């Protein structure tokens, strides 16, 4: 059934560390090997063996329109006809910057980069440069890319592979990073009271998506905002995943919180490699060449990524887009919870917009410690059996999954039927 993927993986193991270019893709935590994808269309993937799957990974979030949306493809074809990269300013990067600034009130200026990791590491450097302070506060299970200072207490692949940190990260970086429980404003207040005058920034996923999907508790984000104001620390929202995914203006629009800096990725590149960070004009004015905080990138503002991002943002800005997406997402997550309950399987479900989570634990799940109570063996069995039924999920308990505009009623019904069968098998 997967013979071509198996052969490709064996070849890759000799050429690429672990056979993959990003660790979670190796599927080790779910006891299987990765599928090699040949093509995609709408909400479906096709692997190298010709198998078809309903896709809930969506390239880990950016495919909010589904794969190969006509508007995105047309924009890419037009851009490709002009060239692939210039290493110079283009009209497209100005247009995309304007769309983001218009959509996100906290962003007055923005700098394009090539990945979410670049965005977060650059925002951290800017916060340190602007405040003259060294300490960064983050939250357990929130993943902000693989920059040295942000791997402390990280989620995503670090959690999936049960890696405590990473060799190669100097102790000094660890000493300047404090990781606290997500949704715990009391502990944050205590730490800020003790060290606030040395804390450059607090960085947070406003909706945690890298320990599974964990929404903020009521009042948590507002408390973080107020504490940063009190102690003069920069508040950074990592919206690489949530930006334009949970709402057109991101999670900050959904929860009415205004951060100082915001990191973007995923959707603003329409599925191509991209990242960005932006925020208050006085902060962004400190970025070189306007200011002394240095950051650069040869491929930043790449015309193909800009074109795909512009096309995507214009499509998702259309009236009713998010309402329809939320309706499909709610139907799916409610159906999954009901199927598990019918089979007597304990799960905790969560959803914010079209980001969803399903934990194999009674719940509720409010932080990383709660998420880690999940039954990983049962999740692994669930993953493998859903895959066998043509449902492509993230191969980790500690990842969110995503619904796109291309997930029609047939795809949702197919998924729920598969889940009902699988939960029934897990219960026996």
Active-site residue, selected from the candidate residues 260, 266, 322, 372: 266
How far apart (Å, rounded) are the C-alpha atoms in residues 336 and 330? 10
Active-site residue, selected from the candidate residues 140, 184, 238, 260: 238
CB atoms within 10 A of CB 177: 21
Q: What are the distances in angstroms from CA 309 to CA 106, 107, 267, 272, 330?
A: 20, 17, 7, 8, 26
**Region for residue 210 given its phi and psi (left: phi exceeds 0; alpha: psi -120 to 50; beta: otherwise):** alpha
First to last CA, the chain: 26
Burial of 423 (0-12, 13-18, 19+ CB in 10 A): buried
State yes or no: is 143 an active-site residue.
yes
What is the length of the chain?
Answer: 428
State yes or no: is 389 an active-site residue.
no
State yes or no: is 238 an active-site residue.
yes
Under 8 Å between Cβ of 292 and 129:
yes
Under 8 Å between Cβ of 386 and 32:
no
How far apart (Å, rounded) are the C-alpha atoms in residues 182 and 365? 11
120: nearest Cα among 220, 259, 213, 218:
259
Active-site residue, selected from the candidate residues 47, 55, 140, 143: 143
* Residues assigned a catalytic role: 143, 238, 266
């Amino acid at each position: 059934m997967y013979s071509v993927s198996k052969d490709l993986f064996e070849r890759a193991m000799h050429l690429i560390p672990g056979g993959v270019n990003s660790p979670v893709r190796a599927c080790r935590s779910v006891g299987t090997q990765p599928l090699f994808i040949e093509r995609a269309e709408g909400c479906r993937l096709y692997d190298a063996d010709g198998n078809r799957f309903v896709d809930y990974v969506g390239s880990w979030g950016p495919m909010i329109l589904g794969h190969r949306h006509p508007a995105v493809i047309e924009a890419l074809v037009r851009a490709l006809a002009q060239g692939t990269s210039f290493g110079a300013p283009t009209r497209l990067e100005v247009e995309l910057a304007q769309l983001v600034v218009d959509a996100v009130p906290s962003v007055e200026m923005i700098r394009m980069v090539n990945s979410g990791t670049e965005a977060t590491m650059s925002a951290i450097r800017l916060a340190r440069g602007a405040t003259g302070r060294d300490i960064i506060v983050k939250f357990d299970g929130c993943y902000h890319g693989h920059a040295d200072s942000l791997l402390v207490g990280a989620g995503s692949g670090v959690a999936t592979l049960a890696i405590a940190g990473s060799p190669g990260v100097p102790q000094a970086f660890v000493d300047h990073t404090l990781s606290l429980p997500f949704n715990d404003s009391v502990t944050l207040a205590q730490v800020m009271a003790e060290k606030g005058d040395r804390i450059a920034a607090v960085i947070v996923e406003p909706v945690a998506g890298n320990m599974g999907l964990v929404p903020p508790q009521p009042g948590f984000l507002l408390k973080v905002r107020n504490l940063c104001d009190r102690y003069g620390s920069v508040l950074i929202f990592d919206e690489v995943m949530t930006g334009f995914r949970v709402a057109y203006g991101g999670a900050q629009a959904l929860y009415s919180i205004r951060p100082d800096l915001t990191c973007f990725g995923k959707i603003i590149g329409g599925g191509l490699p991209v990242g960005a960070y932006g925020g208050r004009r006085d902060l962004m004015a400190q970025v070189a060449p306007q200011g002394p905080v240095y950051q650069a990138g040869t491929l930043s503002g790449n015309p193909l990524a800009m074109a795909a991002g512009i096309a995507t943002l214009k499509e998702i800005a259309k009236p009713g887009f998010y309402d329809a997406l939320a309706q499909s997402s709610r139907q799916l997550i409610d159906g999954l919870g009901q199927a598990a309950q019918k089979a007597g399987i304990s799960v905790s479900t969560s959803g914010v917009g079209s980001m969803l989570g399903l934990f194999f634990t009674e719940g509720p799940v409010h932080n990383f410690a709660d998420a880690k109570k999940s039954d990983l063996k049962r999740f692994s069995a669930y993953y493998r059996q859903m895959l066998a039924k043509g449902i492509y999920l993230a191969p980790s308990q500690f990842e969110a999954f995503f619904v796109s505009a291309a997930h029609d009623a047939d795809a949702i019904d197919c998924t729920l039927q598969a889940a009902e069968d699988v939960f029934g098998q897990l219960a026996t």
